[in-house]
Structure 1
Amino acid sequence: MKIVHVAEAFAGGIVVFVKSLVENLSDDEHIIVHGERAHVTRFTDIRKQFARTNARFVRWHSAQRSIRISKDFAAFLELYRILKRLKKQHQIDAVHLHSSKSGFIGRIVCKLLGINNVIYTPNGAPFLVGTSKISNYIYKVLERLGNGFGGQVVCCSPSEQAEYKKVGISAITINNGIPFDRISRISGYDMEPSNKKFCIVTSGRIINQKNPTLFNNIARYFEEFQQFEFIWIGDGPERALLTSTNIKITGWLPGEDVARLISTANVYLSTANFEGLPYAVLEALALRKPVLLTDSVGNRDLVKSCLNGDLFKHHSEAIIKLLQYFNNASMLNIMGEYSAMHGKESFNVNHTFARYRHLYEGNHIENDSYLKPALVNA
């Protein structure tokens, strides 16, 4: 099959997701129509990750993330020309749109070109992104409007699908997945946590969506306790908000170094305001880490009946949980084993991409009903 992926913001988790699709559907041809967010990751660096894959790239020059009518119209015209050319060359069996801007523009273009096999994966509901009720309302209207042009909406977690249902948009869920066996078997990643300090780690861009202020508030409580340290793996425009003296910001690291740091930590902490279904937390599950996550969309699907971690709504709840973990360190190994078991059962890469392949073939699939019992939180 010939699968066209469209992503205006080709960076971060979307790169991980598309790369996984390409690698796990290696018998298919993949054409990636993409923009660039050079301030996050330069495309030349991203392309190296696809060096050994069956993927080729088409640059979508006018695509950008923010809403600007003139530039968005230019992006629309450019994408129309790109997909029209690919269709004429018989290079399209399915179009997979990644993230909200691609989903909106792409569905209009596909409707005009008579391309019917269209899949849209939001990778995080855009109407949860805004900093005000007005902006979130605008995103809801745009999502409803875009949905009117067709295409199958595919959420990457049950809680994200529930948010789409609330705004009147029909969607299915295909959980994100990672190769749990491969990650858990990698030599050197099964190390015991450091005995020097009780280490709490997170990974990702330091941006509002990840709520660095909340992370900082939690860490600040432990400033006077020499036994605790906090590590943020990554970087971003809001790193200045991480002012607590017990926080270490590593900057961006190679994947192996990230896994090694997470392996030697005691707890993985996420303070995100919302997620699609975060790969960083999935990797923490594979690395047998207890997880302490905000009770938010995407995160809440990863805690199984509090056996492998806990959810919290306020920084005081997170502080209490961390103190409990510290004073009952023996239970963390048991929780870590539950993390690996839960992740392997519910977020296995083979299941994820078998279902996407089924969609690419033009088949209808039912929702992931068999996952629901495993995703009930206490």
Structure 2
Amino acid sequence: MKIVHVVECFAAGTAHFINLLTQYTSCEHIVIHGERRDEISAEAVKAKFPQGVTFIQWKNAQREIRPGKDLMALRELTTILKNLKDIDVIHLHSSKAGFLGRAACFILGLKNVIYTPNGASFARADVSTKNKSLYILLEKVADKLAGEVVCCSPSEAQSYEKIGINTSFINNGTSIPTLDPETPQPCKGAPFRIVTCGRITEQKNPKLFNQIASFFKQQQDITFTWIGEGAMEQRAVLNSGNIKVTGWLPKREVEDILTRADLYLSTSLWEGLPFSVLEALSLGKCLLLSDCVGNRDLVKNGYNGYSFLTADEAISRIQWLMRNQESVKQMGRNSREWSEKEFDIELVSKQYQNLYASFAKRRKD
């Protein structure tokens, strides 16, 4: 099968998701991509993909809504798709490619279209009510043009159902690492280590992370680590003296820090189904996650961690977990078991392989 992926935000979790699909589904993959130069170059992203993937740059694609520029991007994308032959499935990723991609497919009469939001634009907590209403309108218009919405988590699917758009979902997944029994684990007497991982942005809510950490700043028996980097104004929010910001690290170093951690903390305002949390789950970590779209699909209270709504609630949970370290270890084991059963990329990729095959068959029929 020939699968064409269309993505504007060729960075972070979305690019990682497409990368995994190209690795674990037995298809010919073509990626039409934009570039987020303020985050990472397209060349650096492409270097992480397996050999055999074809890349086509979508030069006019950009993040913000700008009618003139978006019209140019639509024309360019329509031309690119028109020149590709024998496409079995067009898979659109994230909101900008989701709208322009469905418009282009409508113009070309293409029906074999999947749209995966990976973080619904109208679920964003950093935009006005007016903009949210605009995003909902755009989603509804695009839904009438072409394609089927396949969300990356149950709660993301529910958010689309609430605005009247029918959808299904396939969970995001991650590769399940082999746990080395000789790797140092959290040990008795060591500080209680709390870790998060991701770009320091408003979406990840560094203000709340800092507020939680600040409560413990006089204690020597607890540490906070943020693996990642961000804009200067967002990074400056993490000013509590007990927070270490590492910047971006190689994957092996990230896994080493996570393995040694006692607790994975996410303070996000919204998500799709976050890969950073999926990876913590696969490494057998107890989780403490803000109760937002995406996060709430990865924690079962009392089983593999807890969700929270406020800083006070998170602080109270941390205090309890520090006193009950055997429970922390058991919840970590539960995380690993759940990850193997539901979020293994090999299982997830089979679901996408079957979905692609059903679309390809529909096209040929």
Could you state the TM-score of these two structures normalised by the residue count of structure 1? 0.91
Name the residue aligned to 1:344: 340
Kept after mapping to 2: 8 A contact 1:6/1:33 = yes
Q: Which residue of 1 aligns with 2:36?
A: 37
Give the Å deviation of 1:351. 2.5
**1:43-81 Cα distance to aligned partner (Å, 9 max, x none):** 12112111x332010000110111111111111011011
After superposition, the C-alpha distances for 1:3-26 in whole angstroms (9 at most, x for unaligned) are: 00000010000111001000001x
Q: Distance in 2 between matches of 1:247 and 1:83?
A: 47
Write the deviation string for residues 107-142 of structure 1: whole angstroms up to 9, x where unpaired: 010111121110000001110114221111111111
Superposed, 1:350-369 pairs within 5 Å as 350-363=346-359
1:224 aligned residue? 218
Distance (whole Å) between structure 1 residues aligned to residue 133 and residue 302 of structure 2:
33
Contact in 2 for aligned 1:199/1:230 (Cα 8 Å): yes
Matched residue of 1:83: which SS?
A: helix
Q: Percent identity?
A: 45
* Residue of structure 2 aligned with 1:142, choices 124, 129, 138: 138
- Counterpart of 1:191 in structure 2 is 184
1:83 aligns with 2:61: no
Letter in 2 for 1:95: I
Counterparts of 1:188 and 1:255, CA distance in 2: 19
Q: Are positions 1:56 and 2:42 aligned together?
A: no
Which sections of structure 2, spanning at least 5 residues, go unmatched?
361-365
Note the C-alpha offset of 1:328.
1.2
Deviation at 1:202, TM superposition (A): 0.3
Once the two structures are superposed, residues 132-162 of structure 1 have per-residue CA deviations (whole angstroms, 9 ceiling, x without a partner) of 2111111111111110112010111111111
Q: 1:334 to 1:173 in 2, by over 3 A?
A: same
Contact 2:274 2:294 in 1 (8 A): yes
Is structure 2 residue 21 aligned with structure 1 residue 28? no
The answer as to whether partners of 2:112 and 2:359 remain within 8 angstroms in 1 is: no
Deviations 1:78-98 (A, max 9, x none): 1011101113xx3x1110000
* Superposed displacement of residue 305, structure 1: 4.1
Tell me, what secondary structure is at the counterpart of 2:104? helix
> How far, CA to CA, are the matches of 1:109 and 1:115 in structure 2?
8
Which residue identity does 2:196 align to in structure 1?
T
Show the counterpart of 2:363. none
Are positions 1:113 and 2:100 aligned together?
no
Are the aligned partners of 2:224 and 2:242 in contact in 1 as well (CA < 8 Å)? yes
The answer to whether the 8 A contact 2:301-2:307 is kept is no
Inter-partner Cα distance in structure 2 for 1:32 and 1:79:
12
TM-superposition CA deviations, 1:252-304 (whole Å, max 9, x none) = 11111111111111100000011111111111111110000001110111112
Does structure 2 retain, via aligned residues, the 8 Å contact 1:189–1:260? no
Rate the CA distance shift 1:305–1:186 in 2: closer, same or farther, 3 A.
closer
Give the residue type in structure 2 aligned to 1:37.
R
For 2:318 and 2:100, locate their aligned partners in 1 and report how far apart those are by CA, in whole Å: 44
Q: Pick the aligned partner of 1:95 from 90, 94, 103.
A: 90
CA contact (8 A) 1:8 1:102 kept: yes
**Deviation of residue 190 (structure 1)?**
4.4
- The 5 A counterparts of 1:114-133 are 114-129=109-124, 130-133=126-129
Which digits, 9 at most, give the CA deviation of each residue in 1:322-361, with x for residues without a partner? 0111111122111100111112112122221112122222
SS in 2 for 1:4: strand
Give the number of equivalent residue pairs: 356
CA–CA distance in structure 1, aligned partners of residues 201 and 4 of structure 2: 30
User: Unpaired runs of 5+ in structure 1?
Assistant: 365-378
Q: Secondary structure at the match of 1:139?
A: helix
Secondary structure, counterpart of 1:362 in structure 2 = helix
Q: 2:197 matched to 1:203?
A: yes
Q: 2:280 aligns with which of 276, 280, 284?
A: 284
Alpha carbon RMSD of aligned pairs, Å?
1.5
Query: Are the aligned partners of 2:89 and 2:359 in contact in 1 as well (CA < 8 Å)?
Result: no
TM-score by length of 2: 0.95
Find the counterpart in structure 2 of residue 162 from structure 1: 158
Equivalent in the alignment of 1:234: 228
Question: Given that residues 110 and 146 in structure 2 are in contact (C-alpha distance below 8 angstroms), is that contact kept between their aligned partners in structure 1?
Answer: no
State the one-letter code of the partner of 1:101. K
Q: Distance in 2 between matches of 1:115 and 1:362?
A: 15
Q: Residue 13 in 1 paired to residue 13 in 2?
A: yes
* More displaced 10-residue stretch of structure 1: 186-195 or 115-124: 186-195
Distance 1:339 1:172 in 2: 25
